[in-house]
Structure 1
């Protein structure tokens, strides 16, 4: 809800508050002041109701996003399984074709030998006894070959039938893969719509959204390393944005109730309930960290990397364009390009941990926004070769920690 109408309501009130020195008020002035106070209170109640409804809308959107992300991951796994099956079918199809060619060649060779033998009648035994004996032996051999010919033709017929079956299976699996890709694309479009709605809802109630994004971009430009960036975010970025209308109304109401008082409201408001209720990552969350994207872990914590360094996190290889979800509840601290990391997303938990994700093609969230575990926060690039790779890191006080300690099933 936009606060423009609130500023209009405060114009008469501002004139009263600018008195240079305390003075006594007449009964009429006190009545007018009380009427204004009651008006502000009613506006505050309306805004609190709107804020509550906005919070309910965000909660509903988060549930829809998590549900959509789960369905999207299921579709991705189906598509990946179809791709693997298709590769296996095509391999078997190639082997069947090779076997068919070999069997055909063998059968053709046997038939050619039979044809040659049929064109050479054996000579009379009295005229050429040696040649006649050789012809008799050849006839005996050819008689033994007949069962082999029958076996070869039967095998050839079986291989032809298997080849046709495999070709049909490949076509059917291609159709299944295309259908899975189509359903996945529709689900990802739904996720993007929900993400846009949640972001608009967040920006509508956050007075610091744009300023916070600018501050985070400035910090990212000044920081040289990821550790510097995390330290800067820890010291400068607020845990939760202020609520736009409510802070202004509360300040005006406090001034109205005591006309001579001119102190400002606190600059750093308390954490919002949404942030206060976020699930921590500490010892109680061991085994509760979700894998942010469907795929296989290509490199683990401590594995050797090119250049002689060791991995300080996990490297996950998903399918191209896979959806990325928040591994745990938290607040987005950074969502932008950063040095060699490319697109970098940093999520802070309520107990001081930082989840670092890099290598994605798109980022959905914005600094200051709260996210729930399983909620989509980005998408991998469409690049298929080389395959995309997502990097996951867990840090505490700037020090990398093994993510496998918190991973589900780890």
Structure 2
């Protein structure tokens, strides 16, 4: 017997009891009470399962954010090691060149001394005309000795410095390898957590696939980004539908005056999303670590002005959600390539493009700092993430929400 039918029977039984209480035997009343108790136990079990699911999603989001923070820390350490290695390599190359030059100069001096040593001093009585040459040779020998010592000392110092630099390079390479190995483990952990969250989302939403198909159709038909945003807003459902068990629980929580105040909500995640805020400094996280290659309003190669920020991270860097929101679009779109659109609870749209992979799916909620994608793993051309903020279709400068601009 279905749960809805049981609730209906209980309601009918209550009416019948109120109207004609003497028509039921004691056994029938006991049977109805047992049926009611069983229904209440099932309802409690469903409520506990829903509460557990909500806590599980919250724990999963916290784990994702923590993993993303650790991954970013490792990426920054690896980037610092790479920069230090470049600096050390330049210094080591310069030291080697200087060492070679010093060595060649020392060889010239030693060769000159060797030649001079093969000529015995002339006898001044027998060859008085060579006296001046002998005096000059003595002067040169006397002046060369300090220079030779100085060159020898400098060469010794340069050799020592070169050995120190080579040792630093080896240590820095080992540090980089360690960071890369730990980063690889953290990436694998993030991939697993993301897959778990997506599976949880799809397990409670029987419209996830329909929503993806609808978004794909909109993306294929829209010619411009503005058209895409308008189409997404016009056709956006209030929330993806729940699976049948979820609907039964909501029906059970409904009273004559509405929904029970203590009943779990299907849109708990969406209700907890923080708004971006018009002037909330720090409200927008930097989605990747890296240098801003092109800023808002800067001229682009095609002559247009930049409507967002371009950031160059390390290859294969993780991308996090800059703000709490709901994924409206995730997929290929025109010249943007892989495009992710996150809508905030107060009507802003956050656009991210340039990724090789997007983790989320339309309808899924994300928290600020949660992993949402990954950059291409290549050196040339260097990966570049594009960040744009729009409100009512109009682009706005993302730096106004970022700490430090």
Same structural fold, with TM-score higher than 0.5 when normalized by the shorter chain:
yes
1:277-288 equivalence runs, <5 A:
277-283=272-278, 285-288=280-283
Pick closer, same or farther for the CA change 1:119–1:247 going to 2, 3 Å: closer
Pick closer, same or farther for the CA change 1:286–1:11 going to 2, 3 Å: closer
Q: Is the 8 A contact 1:40 1:249 kept in 2?
A: no
- Residue 231 of structure 1: aligned partner: 230
- Residue 190 of structure 1: aligned partner: 189
What TM-score do the two structures reach when normalised by structure 2? 0.87
The worse-fitting range, judged by mean Cα deviation, of 340-349 and 37-46 is: 37-46
Aligned length: 382
> Once the two structures are superposed, what CA deviation does each residue of 1:170-190 show, in whole Å capped at 9, x if it has no partner?
111100000000011111111
- Residue 292 of structure 1: aligned partner: 287
- Residue 395 of structure 1: aligned partner: 390
- Residue 220 of structure 1: aligned partner: 219
Structure 2 counterpart of 1:336, from 328, 331, 337: 331
Deviation at 1:235, TM superposition (A): 1.1
Q: Is the 8 A contact 1:230 1:398 kept in 2?
A: yes
1:171 aligns with 2:170: yes
- Residue 122 of structure 2: aligned partner: 123
Deviation at 1:164, TM superposition (A): 1.0
Deviation at 1:361, TM superposition (A): 1.3
Distance 1:239 1:280 in 2: 17
The worse-fitting range, judged by mean Cα deviation, of 76-85 and 131-140 is: 131-140
1:301 aligns with 2:300: no
1:74-223 equivalence runs, <5 A:
74-223=73-222
Q: What secondary structure does 1:359 align onto?
A: strand
Distance 1:251 1:114 in 2: 101
Pick closer, same or farther for the CA change 1:375–1:11 going to 2, 3 Å: closer
- Residue 383 of structure 1: aligned partner: 378
Distance 2:402 2:298 in 1: 17
Distance 1:355 1:271 in 2: 24
Structure 1 unpaired stretches of 5+: 1-7, 17-24, 259-269
Structure 2 counterpart of 1:315, from 310, 314, 325: 310
Distance 2:57 2:4 in 1: 33
Distance 1:251 1:47 in 2: 10
Q: Is the 8 A contact 2:376 2:383 kept in 1?
A: yes
1:364-383 equivalence runs, <5 A:
364-383=359-378
- Residue 50 of structure 2: aligned partner: 51
Deviation at 1:277, TM superposition (A): 2.0
Deviation at 1:47, TM superposition (A): 2.6
Distance 2:266 2:311 in 1: 34
- Residue 15 of structure 2: aligned partner: none
Deviation at 1:91, TM superposition (A): 0.7
Distance 1:185 1:331 in 2: 28
Pick closer, same or farther for the CA change 1:362–1:39 going to 2, 3 Å: same
- Residue 4 of structure 1: aligned partner: none
Pick closer, same or farther for the CA change 1:44–1:234 going to 2, 3 Å: farther
Q: Is the 8 A contact 2:54 2:268 kept in 1?
A: no
Q: What secondary structure does 1:240 align onto?
A: coil
Q: RMSD between aligned alpha carbons?
A: 2.8
Q: Is the 8 A contact 1:359 1:391 kept in 2?
A: yes
Of structures 1 and 2, the one with the larger relative CO (CA 8 A, separation 6+) is 1
Q: Is the 8 A contact 1:41 1:253 kept in 2?
A: no
> Once the two structures are superposed, what CA deviation does each residue of 1:302-361 show, in whole Å capped at 9, x if it has no partner?
011011011100000000111111101000111111111111110000000000000011
- Residue 350 of structure 1: aligned partner: 345
Q: Is the 8 A contact 2:46 2:249 kept in 1?
A: no
Pick closer, same or farther for the CA change 1:219–1:41 going to 2, 3 Å: farther
Distance 1:251 1:90 in 2: 65
Q: What secondary structure does 2:338 align onto?
A: strand
- Residue 266 of structure 1: aligned partner: none
Deviation at 1:386, TM superposition (A): 1.6
- Residue 67 of structure 1: aligned partner: 66
Q: What secondary structure does 2:380 align onto?
A: coil
Deviation at 1:123, TM superposition (A): 3.3
Deviation at 1:210, TM superposition (A): 1.1
Deviation at 1:33, TM superposition (A): 9.5
Distance 2:286 2:44 in 1: 42
Q: Is the 8 A contact 1:44 1:249 kept in 2?
A: no
Structure 2 unpaired stretches of 5+: 10-18, 257-264
Deviation at 1:243, TM superposition (A): 2.2
Deviation at 1:169, TM superposition (A): 1.0
Deviation at 1:70, TM superposition (A): 0.7
Distance 2:232 2:365 in 1: 15
